[in-house]
Amino acid sequence: MAENAEKKTVKPIPMDKLWEEGTKDERGVSEPALTVDVDGFEGPLDLLLHLARTQKVDLARISVLALAEQYIAFIEKVREMRLELAADYLVMAAWLAYLKSRLLIPKKSEDEGPSGEEMAAILQFRLKRLEAMRDAASRLVNRNRLGRDVFARGMPEPIVVSKQSAFSASLYDLLTAYAGQRQRRAITNVRIAKRGVWSLKQARDILVRMIGDFADWTALDHFLIRYMTSREERATAVASSFAASLELVREGALEIRQQEPFAPIYMRKGKQTPASLFENAHD
């Protein structure tokens, strides 16, 4: 048995150094740790709680008074540096003292409260939760920060929107659209032709020249046919000639009659035609 013990003997590693290596953050910067020296243990308080949780240290042999004095001295040293670190160690020391008190008090009935083993399990759970929170906080603090470790681009890139059109149409739709496009592009010139208009003076002169031929009742259209070159001039020729004939009737140079509405207009030479009428016509 002694030979086996000698073969398994290895060089001891100081607990302080082993535990401090595990407390370094991701950037290699270690924070001050509370190192306690009480009966039966010497090392960081975190390690003491870990060993107490795994039942590798007898808490009954640890002096709570010495632990409190060392904690107060540590608080005086680090409270100006990191107050939250001192608060963490305060929780650890308080739970360690409470756990020891539960172990020292004789066991009573189970109805009065949790036992020392149950309190150790509760402490283990809380330590795990505290360790997880500290690990998450350390990861957040050590991440790259915008403006310190990484920098944004000076000119942001605009968002490029790419549009693709898809058409769905039948042959009839294509033909209709093509016909409408051609129709819109077609140039249509509308030219209104100037129509010839008989003036009242022109119609009067023609009637004066024809008065000598009106020996008997004769239709007005019969004499105007020779002067109308197109059918479009018929309306203006009849209207102007009728107005001129009314003036000649007033002067006594012409007589007109009409059997019924819209019937042909007949005319003949008046019985009292003035001689000056023909002189003005020849001029």
Structure tokens, 77: 């040293």
**Gap between the Cα atoms of 35 and 71, Å rounded:** 9
Structure tokens, 26: 């991701």
Kindly tell me the burial class for residue 189, based on how many C-beta atoms sit within 10 Å of its own C-beta (0-12, 13-18, 19 or more). Answer: exposed
- Per-domain residue ranges of the chain: 11-106+113-141, 200-282
Task: Mention every residue, 6+ apart, whose C-beta is less than 8 A from residue 92.
Answer: 45, 46, 49, 127
- CATH homologous superfamily, domain 200-282: Structural maintenance of chromosome 1. Chain E (1.10.10.580)
pLDDT for the residue numbered 80: 65
**Gap between the Cα atoms of 175 and 45, Å rounded:** 90
Bigger pLDDT: 3 vs 161: 161
For residue 258, how many C-alpha atoms fall within 13 Å in the half-sphere facing its CB?
8
Across 110-139, average pLDDT: 74
Positive or negative, the CA dihedral 137, 140, 143, 149 is negative
pLDDT in tens, 159-201: 888 888 888 888 899 899 999 888 888 777 778 877 778 888 8
Is the pLDDT assigned to residue 34 strictly greater than 80?
no
Kindly tell me the burial class for residue 218, based on how many C-beta atoms sit within 10 Å of its own C-beta (0-12, 13-18, 19 or more). Answer: middle
pLDDT for the residue numbered 209: 81
Task: Give the best-scoring range by mean pLDDT among 4-18, 97-111, 198-212.
Answer: 198-212
pLDDT for the residue numbered 208: 82
Q: What percent of the chain has pLDDT over 90?
A: 2
**Gap between the Cα atoms of 263 and 242, Å rounded:** 13
pLDDT for the residue numbered 79: 66
Structure tokens, 141: 């603090």
Helices of type H across 142-217: 171-185, 200-210
Is the pLDDT assigned to residue 29 strictly greater than 60?
no
DSSP string, 88-132: HHHHHHHHHHHHHHHHHSPP--GGGS--HHHHHHHHHHHHHHHHH
Q: How far is CA 263 from the centre of its chain?
A: 80
Across 141-165, average pLDDT: 83
Nearest to 196 by CA among 245, 246, 240, 243: 240
Task: Give the best-scoring range by mean pLDDT among 20-29, 77-86, 114-123, 153-162.
Answer: 153-162
pLDDT in tens, 46-85: 656 656 655 556 666 666 666 667 767 777 776 666 666 6
